[in-house]
Amino acid sequence: MIKVVIAGCSGRMGHALLEGVFADSELELHGALDRPDSPSIGRDAGEQFGRASGVKISADIDAVLEGADVLIDFTRPEPSLEYLAACRQAGVRIVIGTTGFSAEQKKQIEGAAGSIGVVFAPNMSVGVTLLINLVQAAAKVLAEGYDVEIIEAHHRHKVDAPSGTALRLGEAAASALGRKLSDCAVYGREGVTGERDASTIGFATVRGGDVVGDHTVLFAGVGERVELTHKASSRATFALGALRAAKFLKDKRTGLYDMQNVLGFDK
């Protein structure tokens, strides 16, 4: 049995993760964390599902991590790094699905992987992980004469743009084309921009309503277009991927992994 701690348990992803843990016989809810001012503090983590889990929602990170195997985090960069530091201190593995990290913050995650097992991925979906591989394969075949554009849409509450998944897809395409995304990305167009530079990878962002997450990678050539698309209709897909990542870490004492590793695409 893997003892799991869920961070941000009163949020949309936290809710999906709790539901996933309760439904999985290989996992046991060991702890539930939320911000100190959350009205959920002190309540049973299973209350919203009409069940008594025996786990009270808490803001005491160190106390909750005692005896835990892995923490799953889908919050914001700043609290994520606090959870990461606490996990490193306690020797608890961590699954990070949070997006919006700066380059320096990502280095902190990489550094922690020398002490604990870490799965860090901007999207935990099995389908998106497959999409990344398809994008790499398509980019190699369509390397000449095709423009690459990435279009993503999310709900009105998402605070970072482009999404971490869109950036990961851009990195996959750029790598296959022998480029660095930081050198060729175009994140917005307005006014008289001139003709498109064939070496660039463009991004378009849509925010609105309750869109869970849509991503399309467009390869536009002369006379044809190839579009690779993934659409998420439920956060359950991300939760199930994260729980799969938690199981993957069971025998990983240290190391930095992503969903490619979890699903065996790296073999």
**What kind and span of H or E run contains 160?**
none
Q: CA 99, 102, 108 angle in degrees (round to 5)? A: 95
Task: Pull the structure tokens for residue 139.
Answer: 């980019």
Report d(CA 253, CA 250) in Å as an integer.
Answer: 8
Residues contacting 39, CB < 8 A, separation 6+: none
Of 71, 238, 75, 67, the residue nearest 165 (C-alpha): 238
Q: Which listed residue (30, 154, 215, 230) is catalytic?
A: 154
- Pairing outcome for strands 185-186 and 201-207: parallel
Residues contacting 134, CB < 8 A, separation 6+: 228
Report d(CA 109, CA 97) in Å as an integer.
Answer: 12
Q: Which listed residue (3, 15, 56, 158) is catalytic?
A: 158
Q: Determine whether 155 is an active site residue.
A: no
Q: Determine whether 56 is an active site residue.
A: no
Mind telling me the catalytic residues?
154, 158
